[in-house]
Chain A
């Protein structure tokens, strides 16, 4: 291609200029890649810590258990107050879950039958949350089996998992027997099968996990569940999917993690926007760098452009020579910049690695980031070349020839 060969020759002949601008673009893109990896990694880590092992969307019953109309009495009043804040179980949960599972929107959907209660061990008793789960699917969210630190991983009927904090508080070991009493006063004995560490003090202190069917019976839910937990592939789609669910299953109250973590989201958003701002400024600097180099080049090469036009090159041909130069600078500058950025990221990972070999905090190296950087830089380079290209295209060869 004629224009390409001229563009390459112009770049080769102005090699110091070419090298300088390539270095500039490389540095800019390397910083951009590094910054994206750093901020992206931090955000991913934060999100993973926040919602990685939690449901992204939870459905619970819209209706509360109706207030009892029992006549005033001390006992009854106590019961009424406690009952009035409790949700009514979702009875038709099976068709909902099977429909959700059929749609490709969710990675996992699992029922939960949950209620407050007390755990008794000898003389001691502590308030707990009795949580009935369907272990295989619940594992996809909480990874309970993978986090059993003591005892067996099979949740047999009549057995429970408890958290490390609770176990140490009550000095319980796997194989011990405990008694659980619900807020309705229903009580039963269970064998502790395993002790989990969900890396959350609150969960380790309060959760008592048992098979779904057993908790339904214990909590008197009559085959109903109190919640439907779901995870989705893209955590930031939670709001969108949540509103779809609200429309489709309007008798269930759906809440997304985003509603419950508004402050975190605001922090993430401001972090993202500051990162974007830096990236835009870097890109602007790169674009202006290319534009200024090509503008100088267009003036330096105006004689050559005039000659080419005089001997038959069209305005669009010489214009394309500059556009191609811009694209080449953008493409190769960003390509080298990506490698340099990758080098910086790798250096950072090695440099901050602790004794375990794990980095201080994770960096997210997304191939798409590199591809996007290269595409944007190439496009910016081409765009930056637009003004010099236009000027060259309009250059009157007579001016050049006349002035020698």
Chain B
């Protein structure tokens, strides 16, 4: 395991009177360029895990090291800066800013991190919109985009600052199957082109099956952690089947 991204003994609980421990001593490592899926039942703690990696929330104990630095040793402002330049977020509900157009939304992380938009940044944003296939909608308000278009814009936004890690929480959870497939392919292409590390929380077994690695979380613990790229595809399906059988019944 490399030194790229490492979670050590993460424990996180919520609530003050009744404490619910959501993550129970989770340790994981990710390598640069990895395309990993985090699966598990609802309430298993997978989104909380993503929030820990995304330094949106602090764990009760444990550490998240990125390139050897414990992120939770940094103050809130430095964490915010880390989020803006090193991480890209894709959420289930695209979470675009309704006051802004598609291109302005894509440029937002750049403005947060670097201030004034340069011509190069504008060019990058346009290229990214082109890359995700919505360049013809770049001046549309985000409220005037379809679900698939909005999610593509959100992906372009996540890539704007050329992040090393993209964290995606149910990126296809709100989309129809055709759109899901194109988004899935898009994420995979970006992963290959830019060597961006992807950690995708998903219920979608198609997404999981397309990943190099599948981590299953259950009851706040890592239940299973498999590298599946080496196996044959049907073997992958067999491997994933028990989990999805459980998920389908939910």
Interface 9-mer from A65-73, A146-154, A302-310? A302-310
In this complex, how many residues of chain A approach chain B with their Cβ under 8 Å: the count is 25
Q: Are A312 and B109 in contact (CB under 8 A)?
A: yes
| Segment 56-70 of B: residues with Cβ below 8 Å from A | 56-57
Q: Are B100 and A9 in contact (CB under 8 A)?
A: yes
Q: Are A314 and B99 in contact (CB under 8 A)?
A: no
A317 / chain B contacts, CB cutoff of 8 Å: 80, 112
Q: Does A120 contact B (CB under 8 A)?
A: no
CA of A24 to CA of B76, assembled, Å:
38
In the complex, which residue of chain B has the Cβ closest to the Cβ of A402? B47
CA of A404 to CA of B51, assembled, Å:
15
Q: Report which of A304, A315, A401 forms a contact with B97, defined as CB distance below 8 A.
A: A304
B112 / chain A contacts, CB cutoff of 8 Å: 2, 308, 311-313, 317
Q: Are A315 and B56 in contact (CB under 8 A)?
A: no
CA of A398 to CA of B89, assembled, Å:
12
B157 / chain A contacts, CB cutoff of 8 Å: 311
A-B contacts, CB under 8 A, total: 67
CA of A402 to CA of B98, assembled, Å:
18
A303 / chain B contacts, CB cutoff of 8 Å: 95
> Known interface pairs A9-B99, A10-B99, A397-B56. Does A314 touch B109 (Cβ–Cβ under 8 Å)?
no
In this complex, how many residues of chain B approach chain A with their Cβ under 8 Å: the count is 30
Q: Are A310 and B108 in contact (CB under 8 A)?
A: no
Q: Report which of B51, B80, B98, B100 forms a contact with A312, defined as CB distance below 8 A.
A: B80
B98 / chain A contacts, CB cutoff of 8 Å: 13, 304
Q: Are A314 and B51 in contact (CB under 8 A)?
A: no
CA of A127 to CA of B80, assembled, Å:
90
CA of A401 to CA of B81, assembled, Å:
19
B195 / chain A contacts, CB cutoff of 8 Å: none
Q: Does A250 contact B (CB under 8 A)?
A: no
Q: Does A396 contact B (CB under 8 A)?
A: yes
Q: Does A125 contact B (CB under 8 A)?
A: no
A311 / chain B contacts, CB cutoff of 8 Å: 83-84, 89, 108-109, 112, 157
A402 / chain B contacts, CB cutoff of 8 Å: 47
Q: Are A312 and B83 in contact (CB under 8 A)?
A: yes
Q: Does A176 contact B (CB under 8 A)?
A: no
Q: Does B119 contact A (CB under 8 A)?
A: no
B188 / chain A contacts, CB cutoff of 8 Å: none
Q: Does B191 contact A (CB under 8 A)?
A: no
> Known interface pairs A2-B115, A401-B169. Does A310 touch B89 (Cβ–Cβ under 8 Å)?
yes
Q: Report which of B84, B85, B99 forms a contact with A304, defined as CB distance below 8 A.
A: B99
CA of A401 to CA of B111, assembled, Å:
21
Q: Are B99 and A398 in contact (CB under 8 A)?
A: no
Q: Are B80 and A309 in contact (CB under 8 A)?
A: yes
Residue interface bits B70-83, CB-to-A below 8 A is 1, else 0 = 00000011001101
Q: In the assembled complex, how far is the CB of residue B107 from the closest CB belonging to chain A, in whole angstroms?
A: 11
For B84, B92, B112, the residue with the greatest tally of chain A CB atoms inside 10 Å of its CB is: B112
Q: Are A404 and B56 in contact (CB under 8 A)?
A: no
Q: Does B198 contact A (CB under 8 A)?
A: no
Q: Does B91 contact A (CB under 8 A)?
A: yes
| Segment 35-67 of B: residues with Cβ below 8 Å from A | 47, 51, 54, 56-57
Q: Are A398 and B57 in contact (CB under 8 A)?
A: yes
Q: Does B93 contact A (CB under 8 A)?
A: yes
Q: Does A85 contact B (CB under 8 A)?
A: no
| Segment 312-340 of A: residues with Cβ below 8 Å from B | 312-317
B54 / chain A contacts, CB cutoff of 8 Å: 310
CA of A304 to CA of B104, assembled, Å:
14
CA of A213 to CA of B192, assembled, Å:
108
Q: Are B80 and A404 in contact (CB under 8 A)?
A: no
Q: In the assembled complex, how far is the CB of residue B60 from the closest CB belonging to chain A, in whole angstroms?
A: 15
Q: Does B241 contact A (CB under 8 A)?
A: no
Q: In the assembled complex, how far is the CB of residue B223 from the closest CB belonging to chain A, in whole angstroms?
A: 22
B97 / chain A contacts, CB cutoff of 8 Å: 304, 307-308
Q: Report which of A310, A312, A398, A404 forms a contact with B92, defined as CB distance below 8 A.
A: A404
B226 / chain A contacts, CB cutoff of 8 Å: none
B111 / chain A contacts, CB cutoff of 8 Å: 2, 5
In the complex, which residue of chain A has the Cβ closest to the Cβ of B88? A311
B83 / chain A contacts, CB cutoff of 8 Å: 310-312
Q: Are A314 and B80 in contact (CB under 8 A)?
A: yes
Q: Which residues of B contact A (CB under 8 A)?
A: 47, 51, 54, 56-57, 76-77, 80-81, 83-85, 89, 91-93, 95-100, 108-109, 111-113, 115, 157, 169
Q: Which residues of A contact B (CB under 8 A)?
A: 2, 5, 9-10, 12-13, 303-304, 307-317, 396-398, 401-402, 404
